[in-house]
Amino acid sequence: MSKILTSDAVKPAPAAASRIQRLLCWEGFLLAVTLTVFVANALASPYFLNIWNLSDATFNFTEKAIIVLPMAMLIIAREIDLSVASTMALSSTVMGFCAQAGMNTPLLVCVGLGVGLLCGLCNGILVTRFNLSSIVITIGTMSLYRGITYILLGDQALNTWPESFAWFGQGYVWGALSFEFALFIVLAAIFAFLLHKTNFGRRTYAIGNNPTGAWYSGINVKRHNLILFALVGLMAGLAAVLLTSRLGSTRPTLALGWELSVVTMAVLGGVNILGGAGSMVGVIIAAFLMGLVTFGLSLLNVPGIVMSIVVGAMLIVVISLPIITRRIVQRRRM
């Protein structure tokens, strides 16, 4: 009897160990690719290893990476928000009109965060309260928020901002360490702790693996997902503050196409697009990888359309590679 109990007790351990090994293998692979890209950039351009150029490289991904932190959790919970770039544009536009009205910097930041939060809550309410598909709803709100921005701005750009507002996107906290990058590091640590060390994170995985089972186990799935949508909207509003501050202007095309980059970062970091699996460490490494790729291409004067092709190709490869590998393994077994 004791042998049977012992055998049953140790059965889950290999499966858990296998999942951890697969996760570490993917993160290790990403880290190796990131180091390879870093070395390739250093060899391709003599300006790459300059400390200030490396600091500038962080501006290529920090705003997107800040959004991908809650987006990864949302995807793990089997939902998605494709309206984040339009949310940024709307937040920036509202901030621009408030700045023209004479609003000071602290209030402008609150406006940007507030608009982003409201957009996220709107998405979450439509999805959770009316049981609608998040991909369909957020495609709709993506057009809605961007359309409102075009109606408000037309072809004009808003360039009137308080002098102190520029610090959020252009300021440095110590040496070459920018405020944006420092803020990303702090937020990455917070979201990693939230996902991997708290009950909220465990509920996120439970919902992603089996929403019905999570509901019957006592988890309020709708409220949980509403909070995740609100977090994504809030971080999109924060990214709008940083990007608008860095550019010093706002226009209807702000952050156009960024939703693709954000989703690519999440999936490249090992987040299962179908939900239930993913690691914040992998997402953070993926953010650095994409930042190095785009910055390296920009140093080589590669056109922006080519960068878009690279990002799209990365998304296709990362999504299709595990599926193709799984099918090959299944065929060999048969």
pLDDT in tens, 10-51: 444 444 444 555 555 778 888 888 898 889 888 887 878 888
Q: Which residue has the tokens 């296709």?
A: 316
Q: Which residue has the tokens 């070459």?
A: 176
pLDDT in tens, 47-81: 788 888 888 888 888 999 999 999 999 999 999 99
Eight-state DSSP code of residue 47: T
10 inside domain: no
- Please report, for the domain that includes residue 206, its CATH number: 1.10.3470
Q: Which residue has the tokens 């809550």?
A: 121
User: Helix (H, G, I), strand (E, B), or coil: what is residue 250?
Assistant: strand
For 269, residues 6+ apart whose C-beta sits below 8 A from its C-beta are 30, 68, 72, 278, 279, 282, 283, 284, 285, 286, 287
36 inside domain: no
8 inside domain: no
Phi, psi (deg, nearest 5) at residue 98: -65, -35
In single-letter form, the type of residue at position 188 comes to A
- Interatomic CA distance for residues 286 and 136, integer angstroms: 26
Phi, psi (deg, nearest 5) at residue 300: -90, 10
- Residue 245's pLDDT is what? 93
- Interatomic CA distance for residues 290 and 59, integer angstroms: 12
13 inside domain: no
Eight-state DSSP code of residue 171: -
Q: Which domain holds residue 159?
A: 54-324
Whether the pLDDT of residue 297 is over 70: the answer is: yes
**Number of independent structural domains in the chain:** 1
pLDDT band for 241, please (50, 70, 90 cuts).
very high
- Residue 1's pLDDT is what? 40
- Interatomic CA distance for residues 74 and 53, integer angstroms: 33
pLDDT in tens, 207-216: 999 998 989 8
Give burial (CB, 10 Å; 0-12/13-18/19+) of 165.
buried
- Interatomic CA distance for residues 86 and 143, integer angstroms: 7
304 inside domain: yes
Q: How many CB atoms within 10 Å of residue 26? A: 18
The alpha helices in the chain, defined as continuous H runs, are: 2-10, 12-44, 51-58, 62-76, 84-100, 105-129, 134-153, 167-170, 179-197, 199-209, 211-216, 221-247, 258-268, 280-299, 304-333
- Residue 24's pLDDT is what? 55
Overall average pLDDT of the 93-105 stretch: 92
65 inside domain: yes
12 inside domain: no
35 inside domain: no
